[in-house]
Structure 1
Amino acid sequence: MNSRPNVVLIMADDMGYSDIGCYGSEIRTPNLDALAAGGVRMSQFYNTARCSPARASLLTGLHPHQTGIGILTDDDGPVGYPGTINNRCVTIAEVLRDHGYATAMRGKWHLTGQVHEPNHAWPTRRGFDDFYGILTGASSYFDPSTLHRGEAPEPFTEDRYFTTVLGQEAAAFIDGQSVDQPFFLYLPFTAPHWPLHAPQDVVDSYRGVFDAGWDELRARRYRRLVESGLISGEWALSDRDDEVVAWADAGDHDWQARRMEVYAAQVELLDAAIGEVVQALRRTGRLDNTLIMFLSDNGGCSEEMPPGWVDDLPSVPVHMVATTRDGGPIKRGNAPAIVPGGPETYSSYGKPWANLSNTPFREYKHWVHEGGIATPFIAHWPDGRLTAGIDHDPHQLPDVLATVLEATGAGYPASFPGRDLLPPEGRSMLGSWRGTPTGDHRLFFEHEGNAAIRDGRWKLVRKFGRDWELYDLDRDRTELHDLSDQQPERVAALVAQWQDWADRCGVRPRGPIVASFDPPDPNALVVGSYRSSWDQRSQPPSLSGRE
């Protein structure tokens, strides 16, 4: 039997910091909780605040801007990013395949703007010998769009649920592997990204769980996080978002609770699919020598959707279908008249529940305050001599590739055919997981002009078009006490360091990108395009000026 470890890399989609049981949630996630109990939970791991950039960074060990995907898979040239993963990087799959690993992917790709005809950026051409999944960024869970097996479109039969099928497909891959060859399995789910879709029986099992409302549930999650040791009780729970009314003052409680019930069902079914993978590893005798990593691509998603019929849109977006399988219309949007869950709906859970998902932090997907970039991260590898418990060292996505290389003994290629490779940016986390602190290293972030740098305990962060804010994360990780006016010299030094990084890594100024957009149609921007971040809170009065 081969002694090199297998690697299983699992990513949730749009799931907040506190949305699984072992991170304070009331949602049932027994499989992830068991992996955490036998492994490492990271309290300060960071993503990049958005779907495509997170995937690009995770797979390549680079910052997303270096890969060509600074925002999403739209081509925003010439002032922006091409929106397709470029040839200056290699993926984990490409590296491990060259070191004798079998490679497979099950799930969401979202790293190319071309989702109908294969190009150099398809998973089959970036190191994955075996691919089953979708190429776009979201889809119906009952009738997924852009579904392919290899490079061929794949039909999706009725009465199936995409998350569950991904778990089954991943388990089947593991069952079919030779014990003499290690494998790398990348499993990026679409769950619990909108639309709110889940089987009725699982949704009904959450009836009443969220009736206390977002205010009380945020307080309960906060207490559990403190009691678990994941966060410090010195960090106050952030206030409810200013744009969210108190639960007591919110109308339509039954409908509001239903939104979260469906979301919770999506997370539970994600966990069940992961359980299928763990069972396959166990029955094939591979569990102990498999490095399993689990994380989310960004914080909880506050995106709302205006009500309407899908077929009333000027054109049906690639991630949607116009009708149900039996020809019935699909009602999109967030309104009490649209009860989410079934295939005839296309809704999101909105800002109030995203505020719960990101407990105890501020902000959401898109922003680089802690609510947008903090993710649960679980590492499990019984043969890897990990120190079970909580790891408080700060790390971010480029560190995953470095960790995989150290764990597998694979070297980063000095050259690659047809590629002018950039050196990887990350630092291995294995030492930290084995009880030796990594030591401080600066972490950098930028998405849509929202920017941050973390240097030890200090974090400098801003929204696009706003002033920089400074926080002492040892005392105030919930970012409630801005110290920028008190420490202008520290602010200036961190700004200079961030700008040096941004220049080196090819961060494009946000203003010209926004100015290049056609005048936005709010409906199209929210549900018809992945430029769904057009939110007036993140836009400055003037779009001119340098980052």
Structure 2
Amino acid sequence: MKRRSFFQSLGFCASMAAVSAVGEVGQRPNIIIMMSDDMGYSDIGCYGGEIQTPVLDGLARKGLRFTQFYNTARCCPTRASLLTGLYPHQAGIGHMMADKGLDGYRGDLNRKCVTIGEVLRPAGYSTYMVGKWHVTKHTHPEKESDKFNWPLQRGFDRYYGIINGASSLWDPNSLTRDNQPITIKNDPVYKPKEPYHFTDAISDNAAMFIDEHDPAKPFFMYVAYTAAHWPMHARERDMAKYKGQYDAGYEPIRKARLAKMKKLGVVEPNASLSPTVGNWDAVEDKPWEAACMETYAAMVDQMDQGIGRIVKALERKGALDNTLILFLQDNGGCAESGGRKEKGPLVTRADQPTLDPIPDDVAHYTGSWPKQTREGWPVLRGHVMPGPADTYIGYGRGWANVSNTPHREYKHWVHEGGISSPLIAHWPQGISARNGLRKEPGHLIDLMATCVELSGAAYPAERNNEKIHPMEGRSLVPVFGGASLDRKAIYWEHEGNRAVRVGDWKLVAKGRTGKWELYNLAADRSELDDLAASHPERVGELAAMWQAYAERAQVIPWPNAKNKNVSSGKKKL
């Protein structure tokens, strides 16, 4: 034990030497990673949005914003990558929460990876997780052994949140405290004064963990919001702030955002809008369509308010100055309907049959959406006004296009609209820059390496006597101080959508059989001018790099591939 502590101390000294150029350094920092769900690059105020996010804007003003940070284009692979510092297929979650029979697609974190919690806890950190887990298929375990990939079994001391990926925010599915499934009614700890809302519950429980933390130890906390993933559920007072804000439709909002983004410096002066999706003039029910975006904005606003309560908890603890707060997003804006329908009569609660209430101790649904509320109202989908607990829809493709301004595509795809994320870094004691911008490309895989460096932890070679994958990322600590990273390439694959970025060049394709497109992101980050035909040698070189990555990182063989050559990885793409 003493030998391990000695080498951890050596690692800590080395990391502190690296950080000393960034700012004044004392004890090891606390680290909080906050992540929102299904939001676009331009939604929050400090990245160009009109949504009111004063807390996040303030953190950015007193810290850094990364302008070329990336996720994996989908919620569960992103969570696997963030937690492990690996590409998602290496962690066993190349797609969703189902076992496809291949090592890259098991739907559970595998035994060849470790989480940030598992790495930092042996280095003396307390570890907390709050919010959406979504890296195991065992969301409603029949036996205790099914919890092998739950937070407490993967390195966290305390947990509050949902194990699955999507649920009502008024009465969430798979709600869990530590290792115990609970409901909003029978939770022995959290008793809010106003009607329960999961976004507020995430913030309040995170603040509670900070309040109860032993200040003699540093802590790591992972806060995974479900805002603003469908369903569009928000409090009336927050929706009222945005009444009329979106009545002009998609295009004016996109243009205003791009102008603000250029002024803020989060896009280059030469940035162009990708084509606007959706014809506002053709929208039949404009008040309803505007209300969908009003509700979405309210969800983001509510999250920002909650982050403010977490910041206040750090201030009460005297810990804000030596806490690294990182805020990012799991994928781009989501074009999924979430069950909505644009046409037909507006469906309301009136004339709906009342059902039997659900007992307080019963988790009354196991999928993504409930059939009724706990009080007995049928849950409505289709053409319904969003916000209340008895509705369950998304905000739609047109507004997702607004969220991803100025980029192309959405969640699922690996064009810039699907994978671009804000990254705010706030750490007064360790980052000297204020209101700084960092254009260095970064990726989720870099968060593990950053945490390892700052904590002085030793990244292990084994877990439970089984060899694990080495870290794929690079620590962002040098970038905090303005340096660049020594990185050859960044790679993506999701649902056959694939990409590789080397320097300013990006090769990207839709689907397993889609043609490669080539873009110079310095000149054209909106990916409007495909240069593949004029640079065939570069296409070939980058395609070969992607193929080698795919074979190494368990992207291929692909599950359920119709083309056997593609599935085996023998066909070069």
The aligned amino acid for 2:452 is L
SS at match of 1:329: coil
Q: What's the Cα RMSD here?
A: 2.2
Structure-to-structure mapping, 1:425-444, within 5 angstroms: 425-444=472-491
Matched, 1:485 2:497: no
The aligned amino acid for 1:240 is T
Confirm or deny: 8 A CA contact 1:101 1:184 kept in the other structure.
yes
- Of 386, 390, 407, the match for 1:344: 390
Matched, 1:262 2:262: no
SS at match of 1:474: coil
- Of 318, 321, 344, the match for 2:370: 321
Shift of 1:307: 5.3
- Of 367, 370, 375, the match for 2:421: 375
Counterpart Cα distance in 1 of 2:541 and 2:571: 21
Confirm or deny: 8 A CA contact 1:141 1:163 kept in the other structure.
yes
SS at match of 1:120: helix
Matched, 1:156 2:184: yes
- Render the CA deviation track for 1:14-67: whole Å, top value 9, x for unaligned: 011001000000100010000000011000000000000000000100000001
**Which residue does the alignment assign to 2:309?**
276
Matched, 1:495 2:512: no
SS at match of 1:62: coil
Matched, 1:220 2:243: no
Counterpart Cα distance in 2 of 1:10 and 1:259: 25
Shift of 1:416: 2.6
Matched, 1:187 2:187: no
SS at match of 2:112: coil
Confirm or deny: 8 A CA contact 2:83 2:448 kept in the other structure.
yes
Counterpart Cα distance in 2 of 1:509 and 1:390: 39
Matched, 1:445 2:469: no
- Of 163, 169, 192, the match for 1:135: 163
Shift of 1:458: 0.3
Matched, 1:168 2:204: yes
C-alpha change, 1:307 and 1:238, in structure 2 (3 Å) is closer
Confirm or deny: 8 A CA contact 2:70 2:443 kept in the other structure.
yes
* TM-score, normalising length: structure 1: 0.90
How many residues of Structure 1 are paired with residues of Structure 2 in the alignment?
511
Counterpart Cα distance in 2 of 1:409 and 1:498: 33
- Render the CA deviation track for 1:136-180: whole Å, top value 9, x for unaligned: 001111100000111111220381111011111000100111111
Shift of 1:387: 2.4
**Which residue does the alignment assign to 1:196?**
232
**Which residue does the alignment assign to 2:555?**
507
C-alpha change, 1:415 and 1:76, in structure 2 (3 Å) is closer
Once the two structures are aligned, what percentage of the paired residues are identical? 48
- Of 95, 108, 120, the match for 2:132: 108
Shift of 1:319: 2.2
Counterpart Cα distance in 2 of 1:257 and 1:514: 40
Counterpart Cα distance in 1 of 2:337 and 2:245: 23
Counterpart Cα distance in 2 of 1:307 and 1:6: 42
Confirm or deny: 8 A CA contact 1:50 1:366 kept in the other structure.
yes
Counterpart Cα distance in 2 of 1:418 and 1:187: 30
Matched, 1:297 2:321: no
- Of 452, 459, 462, the match for 1:412: 459
The aligned amino acid for 2:412 is H
Which residues of structure 1 form unaligned runs of 5+? 517-539
Shift of 1:514: 5.7
**Which residue does the alignment assign to 1:330?**
379
Confirm or deny: 8 A CA contact 2:446 2:474 kept in the other structure.
yes
**Which residue does the alignment assign to 2:358?**
none
Counterpart Cα distance in 2 of 1:440 and 1:151: 39
Counterpart Cα distance in 1 of 2:503 and 2:541: 14
Shift of 1:436: 1.4
**Which residue does the alignment assign to 1:520?**
none
- Of 61, 76, 81, the match for 1:37: 61
The aligned amino acid for 1:276 is R
Confirm or deny: 8 A CA contact 2:91 2:104 kept in the other structure.
no
Counterpart Cα distance in 2 of 1:113 and 1:3: 39
Confirm or deny: 8 A CA contact 1:80 1:513 kept in the other structure.
no
C-alpha change, 1:233 and 1:197, in structure 2 (3 Å) is same
Shift of 1:386: 4.0
Counterpart Cα distance in 2 of 1:2 and 1:375: 30
- Render the CA deviation track for 1:422-466: whole Å, top value 9, x for unaligned: 101000111111111225531000001000000001000000021
Q: Who wins on radius of gyration, i.e. which is larger?
A: 2
**Which residue does the alignment assign to 1:522?**
none
The aligned amino acid for 1:484 is A
Matched, 1:365 2:411: yes
- Render the CA deviation track for 1:300-340: whole Å, top value 9, x for unaligned: 000014459999xxx9652221111211101123x2xx111
SS at match of 2:73: coil
**Which residue does the alignment assign to 1:286?**
319
Counterpart Cα distance in 1 of 2:340 and 2:331: 25
The aligned amino acid for 1:460 is L
Confirm or deny: 8 A CA contact 2:92 2:103 kept in the other structure.
no
Structure-to-structure mapping, 1:42-53, within 5 angstroms: 42-53=66-77
Counterpart Cα distance in 2 of 1:270 and 1:385: 25
The aligned amino acid for 1:105 is M
C-alpha change, 1:345 and 1:515, in structure 2 (3 Å) is farther
Counterpart Cα distance in 2 of 1:172 and 1:90: 26
Confirm or deny: 8 A CA contact 2:173 2:365 kept in the other structure.
no
C-alpha change, 1:61 and 1:307, in structure 2 (3 Å) is closer
Counterpart Cα distance in 2 of 1:399 and 1:307: 37
Confirm or deny: 8 A CA contact 2:123 2:455 kept in the other structure.
no
Shift of 1:508: 2.8
SS at match of 1:94: helix
- Render the CA deviation track for 1:356-384: whole Å, top value 9, x for unaligned: 00000000000000000000110111111
Counterpart Cα distance in 1 of 2:571 and 2:288: 44
Shift of 1:417: 1.9
C-alpha change, 1:509 and 1:325, in structure 2 (3 Å) is same
SS at match of 2:466: coil
Counterpart Cα distance in 2 of 1:258 and 1:545: 48
Counterpart Cα distance in 2 of 1:182 and 1:386: 21
Matched, 1:239 2:288: no
**Which residue does the alignment assign to 2:521?**
473
Counterpart Cα distance in 2 of 1:362 and 1:52: 22
The aligned amino acid for 2:242 is Y
Counterpart Cα distance in 2 of 1:94 and 1:488: 45
Which residues of structure 2 form unaligned runs of 5+? 1-24, 186-193, 342-346, 354-363
The aligned amino acid for 1:247 is W
Matched, 1:82 2:106: yes
Counterpart Cα distance in 2 of 1:108 and 1:25: 25
Confirm or deny: 8 A CA contact 2:329 2:421 kept in the other structure.
yes
The aligned amino acid for 1:4 is R
